[in-house]
Structure 1
């Protein structure tokens, strides 16, 4: 439908807790389509409504091994493994930098689809990390907050250097 402007770090809107979606209508479907288009153009593999300045609990993921994109409304992690994985993460709101983040290797996520029907999904590996990353964003927790202070400092310095160019 439309490409939306991405909210760039350190915009404080990225630190806000997103509101639950209560209306499952054409406006929500248009938002999901705009999120997908914006994510693909960025490019990225995951995006939340707060990334485009909309404080609603909407996530779109399009992972390399998936048959297509998936939209998650009001997602929440209901179970997480104690076993962890370490993967490089970044954000379309902070392009050009990544950092290694440790997260649960497996999660169970409850969410609604675009019609409001509730689902539960089991995820592991990259998909599990993406769920955790995007749900953190919905909760106002930017991915860099998951880094050690030393690593966060390095990532921030790298980002500032890229912004000055």
Structure 2
């Protein structure tokens, strides 16, 4: 397995809308494994294919403490959501930045597993937030862009300052 390079905001490639996956071949299985290894090594709890410059509708998530409960979502779609919650989010593409973001509290998602088998999942809490965050990546959206213009400007200044060091 390979640890992949994670794109960092404000890289424009993060705004690319991911395309559906139609081939469930060995290359896709390798990409899933590489993405999981990359996420665990980062360390993170979720990674969208768009973050590693693979613009297909693929997400890997593992919110378990033991890091042994990998969830693979291919061509995921949220089909129901309700309630509102606020959670402090971070992102592997925006390292070191954590901000409160408003999300749906409860979601129902349909997707394909790594073998192309359809499934549905109803969830809330951290997993629901993580799924929404990663699906935003597939649509070319970054969590910091949900914030006020002032907060986003400060974050961009902080990123620019870090790069200059």
TM range (shorter): over 0.9
Structure 2 residues not aligned, in runs of 5+: none
Q: List structure 1 segments (4+ residues) > 4 angstroms apart after TM superposition.
A: none
Matched with 1:68 is: 69
Aligned pairs, how many? 164
Once residues 9 and 150 of structure 1 are traced to their aligned partners in structure 2, the CA distance between those partners, rounded to angstroms, is 17
Once residues 147 and 27 of structure 1 are traced to their aligned partners in structure 2, the CA distance between those partners, rounded to angstroms, is 36
Three-state SS of the structure 2 residue aligned to 1:38 is: helix
Query: Per-residue deviation at 1:161?
Result: 3.0
Corresponding position: 1:29 with 2:29: yes
Query: Per-residue deviation at 1:142?
Result: 1.0
1:3-82 superposed matches below 5 A: 3-64=3-64, 68-81=69-82
TM-score by length of 2: 0.93
Once residues 158 and 79 of structure 1 are traced to their aligned partners in structure 2, the CA distance between those partners, rounded to angstroms, is 36
Query: Per-residue deviation at 1:150?
Result: 2.4
TM-score by length of 1: 0.93
1:1-165 superposed matches below 5 A: 1-64=1-64, 68-81=69-82, 83-165=83-165
Contact 1:99 1:151 in 2 (8 A): no
Query: Per-residue deviation at 1:67?
Result: 5.4
